[in-house]
Amino acid sequence: MRESLRKFLLFVLLHACSIWVLQAQEYKNEFGIQSDNDAYLWYGQDRYYTNGFFISYRHAPDQSKFRTRKLEKVVYSFSIGQQMYTPFSGFVPERELQDRPFAGYLFGRGQVNFLYKNEQVLKVGLSLGTVGPNSFAREAQNLLHNTIGLYSTSGWDDQIGNSPAFNLHSAYAALIYRRSNDSFDLSLESHLDLGTTFTGMGAGLLFRIGDINQFFHSAYHQARVGHNGNIKAATEREFYFYAKPQLHYVAYDATIQGSFFVDNSPVTFAVRPLVFEQKIGVNYSSRRFSLDYSLTFRSKELQSPARQHQFGTISSSYRF
């Protein structure tokens, strides 16, 4: 009887310790910064989607309140961002030479990420903001250029006019294949956007190679946060390279076509409905920090003399 009691108490102690160790490795909150810029290609390009800046906060509530046989984790995400677009240069005062409209987009977004045990991911979100002078893109680009000693801009008087921005976002991902030693995987990626700024959809494939985690623990899906998690991460530190070829169908883009409501933009163009995008990058994530660098290459986006475009993205996050 005593021996059985000792074994039972030992089992309870070991189980409690394992839970404590698992929970001690979790951080419920994450603060992130992302910067997009074509200067990150390091050869002096400054055109089209020329700059983007985003600040985000993510929180993982107590997973035991959401956990089902299928669902592993829920993550709430809140972000603010600004994007700016120019023709082939930020200095094009002649309206007839502008091969893409000057445009700015300022928004706030709330999103919920559902991460499933079978490594499917569903993300749904809502963005509210503005396109046009109220986005302060002109002021932001002038401030940036003055700060780092670049040329003066000209042409923003012809930018896309003010328009309210309301957008619904959804994305879905599903694991197709993973090597048994967790060094390579292949997954489906898709998205759908509906709203007054961007409307369209896309689908592609994601390839990752290196030290990778399950989707519900991976930095790629902003899932390094957790609270009372059930399944242990495959690796404490992620370090992997990734590639994502994707085809987009573009139904509407207010930064190219102007306001969804009124014709208040002096320079607009029609969009090209099919746009191919290739993204390649590298990610490193420890328990507290993540750092990501990627390059995005896009085919022509509008029906004008504008060419295909490329830009880089640098993002980092801190968990607490």
| Residue-wise pLDDT tens digits, 143-181 | 999 998 889 999 999 999 999 999 999 999 999 999 988
- pLDDT at residue 15 greater than cutoff 60: no
- How high is the pLDDT of residue 66? 74
- How high is the pLDDT of residue 24? 46
pLDDT in tens, 57-98: 999 999 888 767 799 999 999 999 999 999 999 999 999 999
Residue with tokens 């902003």: 222
pLDDT in tens, 191-250: 999 999 999 999 999 999 999 999 999 999 999 999 998 899 999 999 999 999 999 999
d(CA 316, CA 82): 17
- How high is the pLDDT of residue 69? 78
* Per-residue tokens: 311: 């830009």
3-class secondary structure, 256:
helix
Task: Tell me what the mean pLDDT of segment 124-135 comes to.
Answer: 98
The fold of the 2-319 domain, in CATH, is Lipocalin (2.40.128)
Query: Across the chain, where does the E strand assignment appear?
Result: 29-37, 48-59, 71-86, 103-116, 120-131, 163-178, 184-195, 198-211, 238-253, 274-285, 289-298, 309-319
- pLDDT at residue 3 greater than cutoff 90: no
